[in-house]
Amino acid sequence: MTAFLLNRLGTMLMTMLVISMLVFFIAEVVPVDPARSALGPYAPQEAVDDLRDRMGLDRPAAVRYFDWITGILEGDFGESIHYQRPVGDLVAVRVQRSLALAGLGFVFMMPLGLALGCIAGITENRLPDRIISLISSIFVSVPSFASGIFLIVIFSLWLGWFPGVSMPDPDAGIFDAAKKLILPVLVLALDEIGYLARMTRVSMAEVMHSDYIRTAVLKGISRWQVIWRHALRNALIAPFTAIMLHVNWLIGGVLVVEVLFNYPGLGRLLLDAAMRNDITLLMGGTLVLTFVAVATQVLADIGLYFMNPRIRFERAAR
Amino acid sequence: MTPSVQERVLSVEGLEVVYTTRSGPVRAVRDVSIGISPGKVLGLVGESGCGKSTLAFAVMKYMPPNAKATAGRILFRGRDILRMSGRELNRLRGNDMAMVYQDPMASLNPSLRIGPQLTEVLIEHAGSGAGAARAACLRMLERVRMPDPPAIMERYCHQLSGGQQQRVLIAMALLTNPALLIMDEPTTGLDVTVEAEILDLIGELKRELNTAILFISHSFGVISRVADRVAVMYAGELVEQAPVRDIFRNPRHPYTAGLLGCVPKISSAGRRGALSPIRGRVPALHETPAGCAFASRCDRARDRCRREHPGFQQTAEGHPVRCYYPDSADSPGLQPLPATPDAAELPSAADAPVLQIEGLKVYYQAKDRGLAGMAGRHRKGFVKAVDDVSLAADGNSTLGIVGESGCGKTTLAKCIVGLVPPNDGKLGFAGMDAARIVEHRPVATLRELQMIFQNPDSTLNPKRTAGEAVARPLQLFGTVPSTGIRNEVVRLLEAVRLGEEYYDRLPAQLSGGEKQRVALARAFAGRPSLVLCDEPLSALDVSVQAAIMNLLQEFQRQYGTTIVFISHDLSAVYQLCSSVAVMYLGQICETGPVEALFEPPYHPYTEALLSAVPIPDPTLERNDIRLSGTVPSALDPPTGCRFHTRCPRKIGPVCEQEAPPCRGARDGHRIYCHIDMEELQTVKPVFGSVE
Amino acid sequence: MMLRHDRLRGAFAELVKTPNSAVGAAIVVFWILVAVAAPVIAPYTPTEMHDARLEGPSLKHWLGTDHLARDVMSRLFWGTRTVVALAPLSVLLGILLAAPLGLVSGYVGGRLDTLIMRGVDILMSFPTLLIYILIITSFGPSVIVVVISIALGSIPPIARIVRSLVMDVRSKDYVSAARLRGERRRFILLREILPNVSGPIVVDATIRIGYAIMAIGALGFLGLGIPPPTPDWGGMINEGRPWIFAMPWTVLAPAAALSSMVVGLNLFADGMRENAQLR
């Protein structure tokens, strides 16, 4: 048990270490002159030299990486070139907003996707399944920026129900805030519902064909009990794993949605940093976002460990 | 309705079940009528695809969406199951009628403990409270001989052995004391000793309860042990039905007689030369011929058989046969055997050993993929799959290696052919050192050593035709000049009774038996001096098994090949082999000439194995020796004699402390046991009372 | 050779049998034709500027004009070429890079396998879109950088799938039989294993082309895609977004085109998979 937890944590640390190296390598080592590319071709040479100095670009890459990473471990992500403010402060505010958005999307998507998938899996090849399967394969195929456009045009432009922009307004009431969030959350959820429903459908259908479901049916218990007691738990293991590993996709969705609805979260901050070649901010933000992704996966893995007795005992036996 | 029908628990009348498939309707069950009375066991026997499982599930009205009962009735206590509503069915299922299936592991819910899976039956049907249900389940587990029922209730199914899982399922089925119990291949996939225990249990329960049992099996040996009456199915039809003794003593339908002729039989009367397989293959069910379904494979068939569909004829009291000429049936061994060699003509151990193994060890490292494992700090665990094995196989002989699953016989096979490297010991092949993996063996060794695998579906590359598969070794080893390859391939295909038209067929177009024939041709193509067969029969039907065994013997006679035949099936080993080694938990406990092995003195484990083998003879009386407990883990095998934890003849602490000495008898017969030879000699022979 | 051709045609006939995959195939073929015929069927060149900016649909401009007074329909047709060429290209590149990794990892096993798979796992936990952004920021946006970054991003999942397929086939007895005949490693990998894993890899690639189209679109949408003035669906959405309330057609058209193409590909892939299972 403890061994398993330690193992997961160790893997997570290892992953973050490698990713930090990768991020540093791509962002700071590959470009010939990071300071010049940060300030653009028309900046005066003095300013570039000054920035070079502040970034410490004369020192060898290994030393710079070491400084950067030890800084981060102490909570210092460096200073944003553009905003001239500590990256940590900028990211901290934004990450909360992004997590709120992603969290809402998740809460919306999980029950819906799982339920649709279960219904489709139970009614395999019958009408409900065919309808759900068609809808979910369309949802899977439409990228979030496109579905966002469709929803904005339908609900903001034609129907005028919800605003097309989600800039939070501190003075707005809870109702207004909710109204503003509905479309972004919907876009985010739609992106994943199709995938989740498809995974759940396959898993549920497989379970419904299994010998132990046959045993349960032939025990003479009601269909509802067969599904509730015998099928559900086994059927949910696979989609649960899949969706947790899919958290990367969700992050991509968050980024697109934030840009589309002008929602000031971490995703938009990162994109702005990329546009302005604000390397320190880009590196810091990327690392934080990746950490969120990796941590979610580890949590999911631990959750799975408790959900599936089989894994638990196999690991214990080792 | 006749009175006899009313007292029957189950009465199936003229049932037809049709599957709708992409290639048209398939009539899987046609005009089947059976009946079972309380306390009786009807054995339903037939080869795969004959419709016996479809029939069983139809009785429970559990059919896939594309299956439909198009004719007939299934009367359970006089009421037609096919007309019942879902609600009525649910009241019957699990309550008045219950079922036990093949593959117990898959039949239990992996994420629920055993306890709730059992108690829910009583809570649903008897309306018991949780406490009462639990108490009743504990009693039932006790009754099916489960050790420590309270602990079992807390386990998950993967923490139980296969035999225990099946006991749990039997207990589950019997909780409500059903009037009808259907058992669909309940012992298939279990080891022989476990199978024997389950069959014992079924026998006891049958005596104690008044349940009607429909028992389905492909194995005549198993059927003969439990059934009162036997019904034989072929291509969706019932072809013969009779009391169990009559079926075995006086089979009237040519198919029944043919099937019995395919089964090798261990008997004190001595070995027979060759089996008589049934020719041809089962007709595809969507193109059933107008006449008798068996006509194309029947030696008795006349014009009428091909034109008209035969009905049942009563040949004796309660012995209907679906055949126009039931009286011309002979006893098993229907046809005079073609070119049957006497026992004396069978390959004899004349030449020097081709294969010589001394102190061979193959250990697998138990995997530890954790962080500690990566850092190299893990506790090293080894699965001692093969531990200190010594063996020899003479030229032109057949060495059988038998043992139950997990005994290391397959690992031993892989090590001999070089798919797995040995950790220690000597492996000599034709005087050369071959204790290494194939990639490091010289071509000369490779050519001389080939293998036939267990699973026909994975033995051939699905993208390559049968002809290409057989041609490849000929090219590589230069067995024949390159211009003659095609002719040689055709010759080999014909030798395994596949015509030239098979040359361009892909494996997907072949049946399991045909794939195994191609594999046989491929293995013998380079004319190797040793062919290793790893359970080559276990995935095949009996009639096909017989054909493959005959082919093996034919090839051996033709090329003088040495065969190492690995099997869990003692009857097949008895039929094919000249010498045998018995393995238990990575070690050999007894080895010797085949005749010596099947008579005392026995190793206690061999004795238990022999007494467990299902023999198709309901009159056979044996002294039953059953093993207690389960096979210990090869990761941490018992000290001393590895068999001591389960040995019924354990003599004392010496068994636990010291490795057993090798005791020699005549003709290279060796037994590894602490009991001395004189005493082992006095053991009653397992097959002593035959005839 | 004749035989193989027939088999291929048979497989295609099978595919079109399922209604979903037939619809999917039709959509994909339609867009490929549009891409090929773009110079002929597009009324104007994609960069040509006309008189009116942000004009609604008219007889002259069926889908109106954009903020630089360019014909939207012409840009849409020409933009098909970008997607139809770049998405398969990046997937092909991804397979070429990842398949050898997966093959070696799955076939050789042992330490090398552990090492490769650890690396793949680590990369898998890196949000893909962030990889693209990072790479494109460092190298600057261009067609080549977009293709390469999408290819790099698809390495981990492809390597993983190839590996698991190879591991499955490797354990088959016909591979053991080949080893026992003394076949060389290369023969076993290329002749025994590869033909039996290529089918699922192709199905997977079809789905991946869909992903690549989405990724190219997303990058264009974020302003990191193919640099202007090359017509590109994602870029068109990005450019038209500020005027979405005034001129919804300029963004709706490319969004719908892109979505339909991915829907078509996925329906087609589903049909292929179903067929593979039925066989």
Q: What is the C-alpha separation between B541 and B549, in angstroms, rounded?
A: 12
Euclidean distance between CA atoms B15 and B61, whole angstroms:
12
Number of domains composing chain A: 1
Tell how strand B10-21 and strand B449-452 pair up: unpaired
Burial of B499 (0-12, 13-18, 19+ CB in 10 A): exposed
**Residue B322 belongs to what domain range?**
250-328
For residue C123, what are the contacts with CB-CB under 8 A and spacing of at least 6? C155, C156
**Domain final residue pick, B273, B308, B328:** B328
- The shortest CB-CB distance from B110 to any of A221, A229, A310 is to A310
Domain termination site, one of B295, B328, B361: B328
**Chain C CA closest to residue A28:** C138
Q: What are the backbone angles phi and psi of residue B335, rounded to the nearest 5°?
A: -95, 150
B419 touches chain C (CB under 8 A): yes
The CATH number assigned to the domain holding A160 equals 1.10.3720.10
| Per-residue pLDDT tens over the stretch B87-140 | 999 999 999 999 998 889 999 999 899 999 999 999 999 888 899 999 999 999
Of C222, C241, C270, the CB nearest to A271: C222
- Contact partners of C by the rule of 3+ C-beta pairs under 8 A? A, B
Query: Does B660 have pLDDT greater than 60?
Result: yes
8 Å CB contact of C176 and B451: yes
Q: What is the CATH number of the domain that holds C9?
A: 1.10.3720.10
Confidence at residue B597, expressed as pLDDT on a 0 to 100 scale: 87
Cβ atoms of A86 and A76 within 8 Å: the answer is: yes
Cβ distance C237 to A140 less than 8 Å, yes or no, reads: no
Q: Mind listing the pLDDT tens digit for each residue in C39-91?
A: 888 788 887 777 777 777 777 777 778 777 788 888 889 889 988 999 999 99
Q: Distance between CA atoms of A265 and A295, rounded to whole angstroms?
A: 19
Residue B621 lies in a domain: yes
Residue A166 lies in a domain: yes
Q: How far is CA C201 from CA C103, C268, C273, C279, in A?
A: 12, 15, 11, 17
Would you say residue B441 has pLDDT above 60? yes
Q: What ipTM did this prediction achieve?
A: 0.85
Residue A309 has pLDDT above 80, yes or no: no
Average pLDDT, chain B: 86
Coil, strand or helix: which one is C48?
coil
Q: Domain count of chain C?
A: 1
Q: Where residue B306 falls among pLDDT bands split at 50, 70, 90? A: confident
Q: Which residue of chain B has the CA closest to A316?
A: B368
The reported pLDDT for the residue numbered B270 is 61
Are residues A211 and B98, on separate chains, in Cβ contact within 8 Å?
A: no
Shortest distance between the Cα of C183 and any Cα of chain A, in A, equals 36
State the DSSP H helix or E strand holding residue B370, giving kind and residue range, or none if neither.
none
Amino acid at B577: C
What's at B265, amino acid-wise? K
Q: What's the total number of domains in chain B? A: 2
Specify the pLDDT at position A205.
94
Burial B174-201 (b: 16+ CB within 10 A, else e): bbbebbbbbbbbbbebbbbbbbbbbbbb
Q: Smallest CA–CA separation between A209 and chain C, in Å?
A: 15
Q: How many CB atoms lie within 10 A of CB B222?
A: 26
Tell me: the pLDDT tens digits for B341-385?
Answer: 444 444 444 557 889 999 999 998 765 544 444 444 445 578 888
Q: What pLDDT, on the 0 to 100 scale, is given for residue B371?
A: 42
Residues from chain B contacting residue A15 (CB–CB below 8 Å): none
Identify the three-state secondary structure at position B340. Answer: coil
Residues of C in contact with B446 (CB under 8 A): 180-182
Q: Has residue B115 been placed in a domain?
A: no
- A6 pLDDT higher than 50: yes
CA distances from B266 to A115, B188, B271, B346, B546 (A): 58, 20, 7, 16, 15
Give the burial class of B372: count Cβ atoms within 10 A of its Cβ; 0-12 exposed, 13-18 middle, 19 or more buried. Answer: middle
Return the structure tokens found at B439.
Answer: 């990639």
CB distance from A245 to chain C under 8 Å?
yes
Q: What are phi and psi of B665, to 5 degrees?
A: -125, -160
CA distance B400 to B378: 39
Calculate the average pLDDT of chain C: 86
* pLDDT of B690 over the 60 cut: no
CA C135 to chain centre: 19
Q: What is the domain range of residue A193?
A: 90-260
**Structural domain containing residue C203:** 4-278
pTM to 2 decimal places: 0.85
**Secondary structure (3-state) at B476:** helix
